[in-house]
């Protein structure tokens, strides 16, 4: 009589010692033993799952897996791969509830006692294990809705650009681990990813575009919440480094060559149009951070950053993020925006930017709408100037609207994402430049 011993790590079931055999509650009938399948693809799935609990696992034709490790107590057409108790630490977990084993419905050859309602339930049960993938987006509208990219070809191009370096990146595991990462870099052990690189990029873009919470994405992609957080943090930091070149400060000659007619006629020396925007955040628990982030203008806790666009509408500057308390003039002075200017450049802004003296120091000049004097109406010339500036300055508002098309910056930002906000702004600004130019 042959003897069987389960090859899964942490499982000690051995047919030679029936008194020590442990049968889980979800297993119906006697404990059974199952050889590895002959089909190469299915066999590879078995090996991949069992390798989670055994390093350097080598399969052979004589190794078996006991029924404790299958969802229905044995391989079925809907659950034919061992998925339960594959790691030694899983042995303390409770057994899943018993379920009726779904039967294959081929040409009406299902058992006569199976009710008709089971087919819909079984179909939903099989589909629920399939995570969200980019291939499920069949329309360009869906691509824009979930990723913020203009087309599926843009997604493929972006993934092709990032995939080579993404294969070598180390995943974020928290501040404590990051502080010692340079010491342990040579000892990093490559672990199997829960998702493919394409799915990870897709997950990151979905959270940027729609602002879905971690719990929602964990359910959509059939992974844990900690995995979602690790993937999102890693990819945002990675894309910030790899895509920030898309926010380009062009040379003056390039701006002149591509300048719209409206600017050539009235503002031929305009180099950049600037404006600040604010993002709502959750109430900070730290009083110091709360004081820095309170915005009297919004009457809410916010963070604030400066955006600059070229006359033809491309985002050419994105500042670091400041607390909502910071003034526009302080951000312009502190973010090194002035270092990018050249003598005789013209900067266009809203009348709230009191930076005449800062620009004069760099031999540049400021164009803002005229201010209304107390109890005096604007002259016809001032009205015309205000209208002309407003007609061209409105495009910086449209550029900011494109950035906030990524709803993670439009909705209230969780405090947990505050350390990532600088990277998020750079990534959203870079991706916004992949869209068609603003029509000036």
List pLDDT tens digits, range 371-389: 766 556 777 877 887 777 8
**Structural domain contains residue 40:** yes
Res 384: pLDDT: 80
Residues 6 and 149 occupy one common structural domain = no
For the segment 65-96, what is each residue's pLDDT rounded down to a tens digit?
999 888 888 888 778 888 888 887 766 666 66
Shared-domain flag, residues 423 and 326: yes
> For residue 273, what are the domain limits?
247-371+378-432
CA angle centred on 229, ends 226 and 235, rounded to 5° = 135
Output the pLDDT for position 378. Answer: 73
Residue 46 CA to its chain's centroid (Å): 31
Other CB atoms closer than 10 Å to residue 107's CB: what's the count?
5
Of the residues 77, 98, 119, which one is the last residue of a structural domain?
A: 98
CA 429, CA 401: separation in Å to the nearest integer?
11
Looking at the fold, whether 214 and 155 belong to one and the same domain comes out as: yes
- The answer on 390 and 274 residing in a single domain is yes
In the predicted model, residues of the chain with pLDDT beneath 50 are 103-129, 179-191
Number of domains in the chain: 3
**pLDDT at position 105, please?**
47
Are 215 and 255 found together in one domain?
no
Q: How far apart are CA 437 and CA 313, in angstroms?
A: 6
How far apart are the C-alpha atoms of 34 and 4, rounded to whole Å?
9
In a domain, 346, yes or no: yes
The whole-number pLDDT of residue 319 equals: 95
What is the rounded distance in angstroms from the CA atom of residue 341 to the CA atom of residue 95?
A: 66
Residue 371 structure tokens = 């201010």
Would residue 23 count as lying in a domain? yes
Q: What does pTM read for this prediction?
A: 0.67
Return the CATH number at 308. Answer: 3.30.420.10
Q: 110 lies in a domain?
A: no
């Amino acid at each position: 009589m042959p003897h069987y011993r389960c090859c899964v790590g942490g499982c000690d079931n051995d047919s030679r010692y029936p008194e020590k055999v442990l049968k889980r509650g979800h297993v119906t009938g006697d404990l059974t033993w199952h050889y590895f399948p002959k089909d190469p693809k299915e066999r590879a799935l078995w090996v991949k799952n069992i390798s989670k609990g055994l390093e350097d696992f080598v399969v052979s034709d004589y190794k078996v897996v006991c029924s404790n490790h299958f969802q229905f107590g044995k391989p079925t057409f809907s659950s034919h791969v061992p998925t339960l108790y594959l790691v030694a630490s899983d042995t303390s977990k409770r057994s899943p509830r018993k379920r009726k084993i779904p039967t294959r419905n081929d040409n009406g050859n299902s058992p006569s006692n199976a009710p008709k309602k089971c087919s819909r339930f079984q179909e939903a049960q099989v589909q629920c294990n399939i995570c969200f993938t980019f291939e499920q987006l069949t329309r360009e509208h869906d691509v824009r809705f979930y990723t913020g990219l203009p087309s599926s070809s843009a997604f493929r191009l972006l993934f092709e650009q990032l995939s080579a370096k993404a294969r070598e990146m180390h995943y974020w595991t928290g501040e404590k681990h990051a502080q010692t990462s340079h010491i342990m870099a040579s000892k990093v052990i490559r672990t199997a990813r829960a998702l493919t690189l394409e799915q990870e990029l897709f997950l990151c873009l979905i959270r940027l575009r729609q602002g879905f919470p971690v719990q929602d994405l964990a359910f959509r992609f059939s992974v844990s919440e900690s995995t979602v957080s690790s993937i999102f943090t890693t990819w945002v930091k990675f894309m910030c480094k790899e895509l920030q070149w898309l926010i380009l400060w062009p040379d003056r000659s390039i701006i002149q060559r591509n300048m719209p007619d409206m600017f050539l006629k009235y503002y031929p020396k305009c180099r950049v149009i600037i404006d600040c925007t604010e993002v709502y955040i959750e109430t900070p628990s730290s009083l110091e951070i709360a004081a820095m982030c309170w915005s009297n203008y919004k009457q809410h806790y916010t963070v604030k950053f400066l955006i600059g666009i070229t006359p033809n509408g491309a985002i050419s500057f994105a500042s670091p993020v400041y607390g909502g308390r910071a003034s526009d003039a302080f951000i312009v002075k502190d973010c090194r925006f002035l270092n990018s200017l050249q003598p005789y450049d013209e900067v266009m802004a809203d009348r709230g930017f009191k930076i005449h003296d800062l620009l004069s120091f760099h031999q540049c000049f400021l164009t803002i709408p005229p201010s209304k004097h107390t109890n005096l109406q604007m002259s016809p010339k001032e009205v015309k100037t205000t209208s002309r500036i407003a007609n061209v300055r409105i495009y910086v508002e449209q550029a900011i609207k494109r950035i906030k098309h990524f709803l993670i910056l439009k909705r209230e930002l969780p405090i947990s994402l505050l350390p990532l906000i600088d990277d998020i702004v750079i990534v959203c600004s870079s991706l916004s430049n992949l869209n068609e130019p603003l029509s000036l």
